[in-house]
Chains A and B, each alone.
Chain A
Amino acid sequence: MSKTAVWWRRLVVCGLIFSILTCSLVLKPKEQKVVLTFGMFAGNQWDVPDDDCYRIIDETIEEFEKKYPNVTIRYDSGILKDDYSEWLSQKAIDGELPDVFMVLSEDFNTFSSVGVLKNLDSLIAKDPSFHEEDYYQGSYREGECEGSQYALPYESVPTLMFVNKTLLEKENIAMPKEDWTWEDFYEICKKVTKDTDGDGKVDQYGVYGYKWKNALYSNGASLFNKAGTKCNLTGEEVEESILFTKKINELSGFSNPTSNDFDTGKVAFQPMKFSEFRTYKPYPWKINKYFEFEWDCIKLPTGPSGESKSDVDNLLIGINNRSKNSQMAWKFLKELTYNRDTQEKLFRYSQGISPLKDVTNSKKAEKILDEYMGEDTIVKVELLNEVMEQAEEKPKFREYDTIMEYIDNEILKLMMLEEGFDENIQKIKNDIDDMLKK
């Protein structure tokens, strides 16, 4: 065979291989069906009853599959919230983690630092249609760890102060204004706390379930520095919060109110999550609770040290770090957390509110809330908007949850003690600083 013939044959083979490759590159992706998996738990993060937990997800999946016909989304249903962390962890170890999944706040720090969650920075940077300013910053920052975004907020739940209007009227006390302070709060509690039936025991209380952390946020205090390397426990705002909580709780002496006392209208205030507030109201919960008094909800009272921050819980959704379809996963994540239609459904079917400013602060949201919560609901969208805007940005570091639990325990013990507050709090601070160093 001549040289030319040999070269010709080689050229033909090369061309053949090239065209086959091109075919497989160009044609195959179109034919291929992308299967995305979604991980979620039944119910919700706030332990309130939820009948419609799959409804929003199902509808969103339907919408998404309509938009992208080559994509199928699957999810396992029926995983309880209590089992969810373990279920997700096992899937991660088995390499079967869903492409997109809900992240409980207690898992977020670990999952992002261990590499379960995908760092979304590059996806966000490459997506011109995504603007982080559309989210309430407090909720958005909830998905941030060590300067990078690992998850987006899907649903937010602020904490509000629940007020027993009937009780206040009975005691001739005016409804507190929106900008009420600790002082106002303390005064009202002091007036209300009394023994009404004269048996020598206190049976009407100021507040139920007011925690030092409620005071902390409303006093504009931060427990840690931004980097999460130092504890701020001995800071003035923090100490004030702890002492104020102690003072409030000591009002009723040794008898503390129970939740039943609140339900039967014997307590004036209770800090409550928006989700609880929503689920307790509609039928059938209405019958069991709050039937003998009128109520309202307002912001928590502001502390003396300036700007008031609010405590907002968020349900996050993230992407599997090892997802093979991260682009599609990102689109689905956006469909869930960034799509206005999806987010509006939260008001309709879920218990929280949307972390998107446009959605929460809209007439439509107000209308839906009115519709679903009955005529006597007085939840103002402006209040929600304000609370969301003021949400505390909690620093994210891996040991955050462990350390918070530790602090909580120690502070509870500290509040029981009569003396030695300064020394004890200094000791706790030192312990925590040591823990942070590790």
Chain B
Amino acid sequence: MAIERGIMSRNLYYLRLFMSLLNFAILAFLSAVMMVTFNTINENYMARNFLEDISYLPKEATKSTVIVFLTFFLLLYIIEVRKQFKHKSVVSVGIYVIEIILCLIVIRCLYISYNGILLLVVADIVTSIRDKHNRGLFLVIMGLIYIFADYDIVSSIIPTISFEEILSVYSTQYSTLLLGIRNMLVSVNHIAFIAYMIISMKNQMKENARIALLNIQLQTANEQLKEMNEQLKDYAGMREKMGETKERNRIAREIHDTLGHTMTGLSVGIDACIAMIDYSIEGTKKQLNQMSQVARKGIDDIRRSVNKLRPDALEHHNLEEALEKLIEDTVLMSNVQIYYNLQVPELKFNTDEEDMIYRVVQEGITNAIRHGKADNIHVNIKKEDKWLILTIQDDGIGCEEIHTGFGLIHIEERIHMLNGKVSYDGSNGFCIVAKIPIRWSENYD
């Protein structure tokens, strides 16, 4: 089908080329006749009689000819160049208006003896204006011009000279011959135009059929896609559930592997101590020492396990980067401004402390946005003696009474686990101040 279409538009292209050449020939013929005629008139001293026979003084022939051909080539050039601006509708409309004006100039310069140049532009409009309204409008305009650009109609309004009048200086036989040649060329132009329109119409019909077919295909594909989308949704749900189960299993296994093992060991050890304590204090002591070691190892194991359940961000970045990323993401996703002020040279703590700081900041920001409807949030982290002071202040609606439901319990629990203190103030926006005793790692000792 594509090849066939190629042939069709190539046919159209050649036809238009032919029409252009033909129009050139007609313009050349008419201009030549006028030039030669005016020359003959002057050479044979027939000028005064010629003026007597005509109804309008023609313009100087050479100048008219130059204007006609300049205009004609400009028209051809515009038709060629316009293809580049196909998609800019304003430029395109402007160019069509210019085309119409150029046509009118050619017609005027040839004293309305030839209006077939309009067909060339109509052929161009039919194939290159895709917008239905514009195309209709321009075709109507061209049609009207074609109808009224007729010598007999125009000459009653604007004084002009007819081709027949120009030929009146020749003998009847000769002038009939010249008229015949002109009419023949004009007819050929008409035929070429009709052929062009037929091919163009055929093209259009084929195109329409192709579009209809494509439409049907598109519809089918759409339906299939919908179905698949549904399936995908189900699958995603399933995946989520499966993930949850998997995660639960992992935690269970982790607890079982670490805590279970240690606890089992400890409970067995304690049983042994109970049995032993009455007769061997030394043995019991030894046993307890062993159990203490097991318990420590257990704590280590638990810590390692918990490490595996840490927030994603902390898993891949250090605390500083993780906080920055958190703030950045939040700013990107919501309309708040977050002013982050870090006054501690290096944020490097134990993992549980890092976790805690991260969670508190996260919770604080979330609360400020969700409950406080805040626009600006200030996050400050500073160090005072052994304390790390974390302040989250927002300019939201705040609250009179503080309900510890807003995830604050979570924060409190976490901080208390680390022997820290936390205080809230909801009178002016909302402010969380957390004081955490940091086991400053060796860098800070």
- Chain A positions within 8 Å of B, measured between CB atoms, are 85-86, 88-90, 92-96, 107, 110-111, 113-116, 321-322
Please indicate the chain A residues that have their CB under 8 angstroms from the CB of B48 in the complex.
85-86, 88-89, 107
Known: A110-B51, A115-B159. 20 other contacts (CB 8 A): A86-B48, A88-B48, A89-B48, A89-B51, A90-B42, A90-B45, A92-B51, A92-B57, A93-B47, A93-B57, A93-B58, A94-B60, A95-B59, A95-B60, A107-B48, A113-B55, A114-B57, A115-B57, A116-B51, A116-B57
Question: Which residues on the B side are within 8 Å of A113 (C-beta)?
Answer: 55
Q: Is B88 among interface residues, defined by CB-CB distance under 8 A?
A: no
Complex Cα–Cα for A321 and B52 (A): 17
Of residues 29 through 76 on chain B, the ones whose CB sits less than 8 Å from some CB of chain A are 38, 41-42, 45, 47-48, 50-52, 54-60, 63
| Chain B nearest CB, measured from A68 CB (Å) | 27
Closest B-chain residue to A111, C-beta based? B51
* Cα–Cα, bound, A291→B54 (Å): 50
A89 in contact with B47 (CB, 8 Å):
yes
Q: Are A89 and B50 in touch, CB under 8 angstroms?
A: yes
25 contacting pairs across A/B (C-beta < 8 A): A86-B47, A88-B48, A89-B47, A89-B50, A89-B51, A90-B45, A90-B47, A92-B57, A93-B38, A93-B41, A93-B42, A93-B47, A93-B50, A93-B57, A94-B38, A94-B42, A95-B59, A95-B60, A96-B60, A111-B51, A113-B55, A114-B51, A114-B54, A115-B57, A322-B59
Which of chain A's residues have a CB closer than 8 A to the CB of B60?
93-96
Q: Is the CB of A86 within 8 A of B54?
A: no
Query: What is the CA–CA distance of A115 and B56 in the complex, to the nearest angstrom?
Result: 6
CA distance A110 to B49 in the complex (A): 10
Are the CB atoms of B63 and A95 closer together than 8 Å?
yes
Assembled-state Cα–Cα distance A321/B58 (Å): 12
Q: Which residues of A contact B63 (CB under 8 A)?
A: 95
B45 to chain A: closest residue by CB? A86
Beyond A93-B38, A94-B42, whether A114 also contacts B55 by CB under 8 A is yes
Q: Which residue of B lies closest to A402 (CB)?
A: B52
CB distance from B154 to the nearest CB of A (A): 15
With the chains together, A114 CA to B50 CA distance in Å?
Answer: 11
How far apart are the CA atoms of A126 and B194 in the complex, in Å? 53
Question: Which B residues touch A110, using CB under 8 A?
Answer: 51-52
Q: Mark B6-50, 1 if CB is under 8 A from A, else 0.
A: 000000000000000000000000000000001001100101101
Instruction: State how many angstroms separate the Cβ of A98 from the closest Cβ of chain B.
Output: 14
Instruction: Give bound CA distance, A321 to B48, whole Å.
Output: 17
| Chain A residues with CB below 8 A from B47, complex form | 86, 89-90, 92-93
Most buried by B among A93, A96, A113, A321: A93
B343 to chain A, nearest CB (A): 38
Nearest B residue to A89 via CB reads B47
In the complex, the answer to whether A321 meets B57 with C-beta atoms within 8 Å is yes
Q: Chain A residue with minimal CB distance to B60?
A: A95
Q: Closest A residue to B42 by CB, please name it.
A: A90
